[in-house]
């Protein structure tokens, strides 16, 4: 297997959900960039559990110990490594079901790939716990981006949870005004937040879970980033987004909805705003021919319902080679969307930084 990603910037993620520690190594960062550890801690806190009803009761401090590539407040230009200790594991929750393949999880495919030698506790290297080092790496990438590109802003919002949808955005410039969104439940129409929360609470009460959609966006994106064919902005960002556990779909701009449009509707008409080229609409999500056009980069990420549910489910026992049932115990999120928001932003920041460094900016 390989856990490396990136062209100019190289990211490696290591560790398992119930191992001693998890972490990330970032290679290719320029030297001399100031890094604010308080800002990193804030990003890590955004990923934290939000209580027993709407999220898992497992709480980790997620304190990042930067052990290399950082000296006297600045990057050194050498590989930057951040380690996060796992301090609140309950591995015994998995001992009784280690041979039972949890539906919706990677247990069976991991067994096929690694022949039973994989760490099964909490999903091991397949766990959503591994998004913590990605969020750390993204927090660093955000700070490097801020130092390089003035006005660039990476953000996201909840577009849908459990079938409850937020407002759509029609005017491309509106993305620049989304900073007012609630930090914990970033939605434009705040009246929908209680409905979203109710959908999550009802699923937990039913020993079930729900999925949702996160819309990511970047404003202030320079035009000209990316390449056609195999190195498009879409393909490179999608590759990193699909590394986030539970992601099952990614679309850019109006995405699949464009298949039902006519060309006269789907085409984004250009116009001059002073010396700057803009488009009236943004159905293409700020990308044409795999290259950014300077409009907001907009995309959506679909998350499946959390597969760990407490209802009895049909499965197989690999040790006995027979059909059986499983009831999953332990501490699990009834909806992963909230805690995935900083991971989506982290993936976005890392991809943009890789593209910008590659472009020599």
- Residue carrying the six token digits 């297997």: 1
Asked whether residue 92 carries a pLDDT value surpassing 70, the answer given is no
Residue 16 has pLDDT above 70, yes or no: yes
Does residue 53 surpass a pLDDT of 60?
Answer: no
98 among annotated binding-site residues: no
Look up the pTM and report it: 0.92
Taking 70 as the threshold, does the pLDDT of residue 79 lie above it?
A: yes
**What is the tens place of the pLDDT at every residue in 183-218?**
678 999 989 999 999 999 999 999 999 999 999 999
Using pLDDT thresholds of 50, 70 and 90, give the confidence band for residue 50. Answer: low
Is 1 a residue whose pLDDT tops 70? no
Is there a binding annotation on residue 47?
A: yes
pLDDT at 55: 57
Q: Which token pair is 356?
A: 């910008």
Provide the pLDDT for residue 89.
61
Confidence check: pLDDT of 271 > 90: yes
Q: Quick one: three-class SS letters along 135-173? A: HHHHHHHHHHHHHHCCCCEEEEEEEEECCEECCCCCCHH
Using only the alpha carbons of the chain, give its radius of gyration: 21
Q: What is the distance between the alpha carbons of residues 304 and 109, in angstroms, rounded to a whole number? A: 18
Contacts of 131 by beta carbon, 8 Å cutoff, 6+ apart: 47, 244, 245, 339, 340, 343, 346
Residue of 272 and 360 predicted with greater confidence: 272
Q: Are 75 and 29 in contact (CB under 8 A)?
A: yes
Residue 58 CB partners (closer than 8 Å, separation 6+): 49, 88, 90, 331
Give the range among 112-116, 146-150, 353-357 with minimum mean pLDDT: 112-116
**pLDDT beyond 90 at 341:** yes
Q: Is 209 annotated as a binding residue?
A: no
How far is the C-alpha of 203 from the C-alpha of 128, rounded, in Å? Answer: 20
Instruction: Inform me whether the pLDDT recorded for 327 exceeds 90.
Output: no
Binding site annotation covers 306?
yes
pLDDT of 184 reads 77
Structural domains in the chain plus CATH codes: 4-359 (3.60.150.10)
Residue among 161, 107, 118 nearest 313 (CA) = 107
pLDDT confidence band for 119 (50 / 70 / 90)? confident
Q: Has 34 been labeled as part of a binding site?
A: no
Q: For tokens 């080092």, what's the residue?
A: 133
Q: Is 289 a known ligand-binding residue?
A: yes
Helical (H) or strand (E) element with 93:
helix 92-95
DSSP for residue 102:
-
CA 156, CA 98: separation in Å to the nearest integer?
36
Between 77-91, 157-171, 209-223, 247-261, the lowest mean confidence (pLDDT) is in 77-91
127 annotated among ligand-binding-site residues: yes
The answer to whether 227 is annotated as binding is no
Q: How confident is the model at residue 87 (pLDDT cuts 50, 70, 90)?
A: confident
Neighbours of 227 (CB within 10 A): 16
Tell me the C-alpha distance between 93 and 346, whole Å: 30
User: Is the pLDDT assigned to residue 122 strictly greater than 80?
Assistant: no
- Report pLDDT digits (tens) over 216-243: 999 999 999 999 999 999 999 999 999 9
Find the mean pLDDT for residues 311-337. Answer: 89
**Residue 307 is labelled as binding a ligand:** yes
109-113, 136-140, 195-199 — which is least confidently predicted? 109-113
Q: How confident is the model at residue 52 (pLDDT cuts 50, 70, 90)?
A: low
């Amino acid at each position: 297997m390989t856990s490396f990603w990136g062209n100019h910037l190289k990211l490696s993620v290591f560790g398992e959900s119930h191992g001693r520690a998890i972490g990330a190594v970032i290679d290719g960062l320029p030297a001399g960039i100031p890094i604010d550890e308080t800002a990193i801690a804030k990003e890590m806190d955004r990923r934290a559990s939000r209580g027993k009803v709407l999220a898992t009761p497992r709480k980790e401090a997620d304190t990042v110990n930067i052990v290399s590539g950082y000296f006297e407040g600045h990057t050194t230009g050498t590989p930057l490594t951040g380690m996060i200790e796992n301090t609140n594991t309950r591995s015994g929750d998995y001992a009784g079901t280690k041979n039972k393949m949890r539906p919706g999880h990677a247990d069976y495919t991991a067994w096929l790939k690694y022949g039973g030698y994989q760490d099964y506790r909490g999903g091991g290297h397949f766990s959503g716990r591994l998004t913590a080092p990605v969020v750390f790496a993204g927090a660093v990438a955000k700070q490097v981006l801020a130092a390089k590109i003035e006005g660039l802003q990476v953000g996201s919002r909840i577009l849908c949870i459990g079938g409850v949808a937020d407002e759509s955005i029609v005017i491309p410039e509106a993305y620049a005004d989304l900073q007012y969104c609630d930090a914990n439940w970033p939605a434009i129409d705040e009246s929908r937040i209680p409905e979203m929360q109710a959908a999550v609470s009802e699923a937990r009460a039913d020993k079930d879970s729900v999925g949702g959609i996160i819309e990511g966006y970047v404003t202030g994106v320079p035009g000209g980033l990316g390449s056609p064919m195999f190195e498009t902005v879409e393909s490179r960002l999608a590759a990193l987004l699909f590394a986030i556990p539970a992601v099952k779909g990614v679309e850019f701009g109006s995405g699949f909805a464009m298949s039902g449009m006519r060309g006269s509707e789907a085409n984004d008409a250009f116009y001059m705003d002073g010396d700057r080229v803009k488009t009236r609409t943004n159905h293409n999500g700020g990308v044409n021919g795999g290259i950014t056009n300077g409009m907001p980069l907009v995309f959506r990420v679909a998350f499946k319902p959390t597969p760990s549910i407490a209802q009895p489910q049909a499965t197989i026992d690999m040790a006995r080679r027979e059909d059986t049932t499983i009831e999953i115990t332990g501490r699990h999120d009834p909806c992963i969307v909230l805690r995935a928001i900083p991971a989506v932003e982290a993936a976005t920041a890392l991809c943009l930084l890789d593209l910008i460094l590659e472009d020599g900016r």
